């Protein structure tokens, strides 16, 4: 592990909060942004290919939640193993830690093969469930893209599941580098396969899979050369108690991802249903436009949320240590700074989405599309993301509550946002406002979630022993504390 950890992590209770936030948050942000690049890069190149355009964009939107399902299973295993390994190492139980790593490798390989087979066998009904039947060409593009993406599922899941395990072994830089290597290869191969070879959706998918293979290969190499947790042959034999503990610790990560899939499925289907009733998008040649546009908006949102989640996740060890060390003032300062930083990110994203939607549209190939595409994209960015500041603060609240040991409250709030509000409003609002109702479902969900989050934020400040002063903290953040309190 890192040298600081051998000294009891005391620096977490003495160094300035601002400095600690920079040290811990930046690697998390980079790792999450790199992970987000895979799907975003595909969509950018697909959108700018004149022979794919909005049909390819819509297909990418259809397939995206299906990759999130694979990610949900992978992070449940990987994050669960990471947490279990940390607990085991804390009590000097290296044997159980290695057993968890070995069992997690087997679970990942077996689970990824099963999911790959299910995707290949039931491709058409799965694509239909996620809105791929908006028109014939979008369905054809979705099938082509999904087939090759499905072939890469075992490599994708292995790389994603091993990433937190590698971090638990004390090599966060290698974990980040392995993900970055795969993403860079995808960026290089995408334009070659799409524009030079003109392989279309197959080219985009194959470039992605090759990048995933590289990440998986690097993870496998590290697994064979682990510093602390290199498993022995017997560690790969499944043990019920270890499997149960690993999956239990990873269930929160699974729920946070799978609930997002439910929301995306509802949104995609409402777009398909109410787009067909629209006077413009009900026409065959424009039917794919709403789904393509919402997919682009969600990719921009994904970039913003990667920054937000990375920032909050980086604060977890800082918050946990200071809570355990009985330093509530430092935890309070950390919470204040985190909320202020997340709000600033949200403000920046709000300004970009509201004032410069055309710039974002052009990045995703808007110059090749009809006026209907441009007009709907402008409206989608401005409506869908008008409450993005609240979305950023909500996400920070979810993660900070978990860091403070309030896993139940964190999971509840996350599930309410994605399932109750995310799915509920996506199904309800279109009944009154048609296609626009789908767009309004996002900001309404974030606003209602913030109403709950605000109560939890106030309660958290009270528990930490100081009246809340979010506005003053935002304008005048407290000075760093450089000594043990």
Average pLDDT of the residues in 106-116: 97
The C-alpha atoms of residue 322 and residue 343 are separated, in whole angstroms, by: 23
Window from 24-28, 160-164, 304-308, 472-476 with minimum mean pLDDT = 472-476
Question: Please, is 323 exposed, middle or buried when counting C-beta atoms within 10 Å of its C-beta (0-12, 13-18, 19+)?
Answer: middle
Residue 194 falls inside a structural domain: yes
Element (H, E) at 434: helix 430-463
Residue 352 falls inside a structural domain: yes
Residue 255 falls inside a structural domain: yes
pLDDT per residue over 432-457, tens digit each? 999 999 999 999 999 999 999 999 99
| pLDDT computed for residue 470 by the predictor | 38
Residue 185 falls inside a structural domain: yes
Which pLDDT band, with edges at 50, 70 and 90, does 136 fall under? very high
Q: Which of 22, 5, 6 is nearest to 314 (CA)?
A: 22
| CA 69 to chain centroid | 11
Residue 152 falls inside a structural domain: yes
Q: Which residue has the higher pLDDT, 357 or 82?
A: 357
pLDDT per residue over 250-284, tens digit each? 887 787 778 878 888 999 999 999 999 999 999 99
258 C-beta neighbours (distance < 10 Å), count: 19
Mean pLDDT of the chain: 87
Residue 225 falls inside a structural domain: yes
| pLDDT computed for residue 172 by the predictor | 74
Residue 5 falls inside a structural domain: no
Structurally, how many domains does the chain consist of? 1
| pLDDT computed for residue 405 by the predictor | 66
| pLDDT computed for residue 24 by the predictor | 76
Crossing angle for the helix pair 240-275 and 289-314, nearest 10 degrees?
Answer: 140
Range of the structural domain that residue 432 is part of? 16-475
Residue 7 falls inside a structural domain: no
pTM of the predicted model as reported, rounded to 2 decimal places: 0.81
């Amino acid at each position: 592990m890192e040298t600081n950890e051998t000294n009891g992590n005391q620096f977490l209770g003495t160094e300035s909060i601002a400095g600690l936030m920079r040290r811990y948050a930046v690697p998390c942000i980079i790792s999450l942004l790199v992970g987000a690049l895979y799907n975003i890069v595909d969509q950018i190149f697909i959108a700018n290919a004149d022979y794919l355009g909005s049909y390819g964009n819509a297909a990418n939107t259809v397939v995206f939640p299906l990759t999130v399902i694979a990610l949900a299973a992978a992070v449940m295993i990987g994050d669960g193993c990471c947490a279990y390994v940390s607990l085991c190492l804390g009590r000097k139980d290296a044997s159980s830690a290695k057993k968890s790593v070995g069992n997690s490798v087997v679970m990942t390989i077996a689970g990824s093969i099963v999911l790959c087979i299910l995707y290949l066998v039931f491709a058409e009904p799965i694509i239909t469930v996620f809105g791929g039947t908006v028109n014939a060409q979008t369905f054809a593009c979705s099938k082509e893209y999904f087939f090759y993406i499905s072939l890469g599922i075992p490599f994708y899941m292995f790389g994603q599941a091993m990433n937190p395990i590698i971090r638990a072994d004390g090599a966060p830089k290698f974990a980040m580098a392995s993900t970055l290597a795969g993403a860079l290869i995808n960026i290089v191969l995408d334009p070659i396969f799409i524009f030079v070879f003109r392989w279309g959706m197959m080219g985009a998918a194959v470039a992605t899979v090759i990048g995933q293979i590289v990440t998986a290969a690097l993870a496998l190499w590290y697994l064979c050369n682990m510093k602390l947790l290199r498993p022995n042959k017997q560690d790969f034999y499944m043990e019920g108690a270890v499997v149960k503990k690993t999956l239990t610790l990873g269930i929160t990560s699974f729920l946070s991802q799978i609930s997002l899939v439910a929301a995306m499925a509802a949104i995609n289907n409402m777009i398909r249903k109410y787009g067909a009733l629209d006077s413009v998008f009900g026409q065959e040649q424009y039917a794919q436009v709403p789904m393509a546009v919402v997919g682009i908006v969600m990719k921009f949102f994904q970039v913003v949320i990667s920054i937000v989640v990375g920032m909050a996740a980086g604060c977890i060890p800082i918050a946990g240590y200071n809570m355990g060390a009985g330093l509530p003032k430092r935890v309070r300062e950390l919470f204040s700074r985190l909320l202020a930083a997340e709000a600033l990110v949200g403000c920046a994203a709000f300004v970009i989405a509201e004032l410069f939607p055309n710039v974002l549209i052009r990045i995703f190939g808007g110059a090749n599309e009809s006026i209907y595409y441009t007009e709907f994209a402008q409206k989608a960015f401005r409506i869908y993301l008008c409450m993005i500041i609240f979305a950023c603060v909500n996400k920070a609240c979810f993660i900070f509550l978990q860091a403070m040991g309030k896993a139940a409250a964190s999971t509840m709030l996350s599930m309410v946002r994605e399932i109750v509000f995310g799915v509920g409003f996506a199904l309800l609002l279109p009944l009154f406002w048609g296609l626009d109702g789908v767009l309004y479902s996002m900001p309404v969900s974030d606003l209602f979630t913030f109403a709950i989050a605000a109560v939890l934020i106030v309660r958290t400040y009270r528990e930490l022993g100081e009246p809340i002063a979010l506005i003053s903290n935002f304008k005048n953040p407290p000075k760093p504390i450089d000594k043990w309190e």
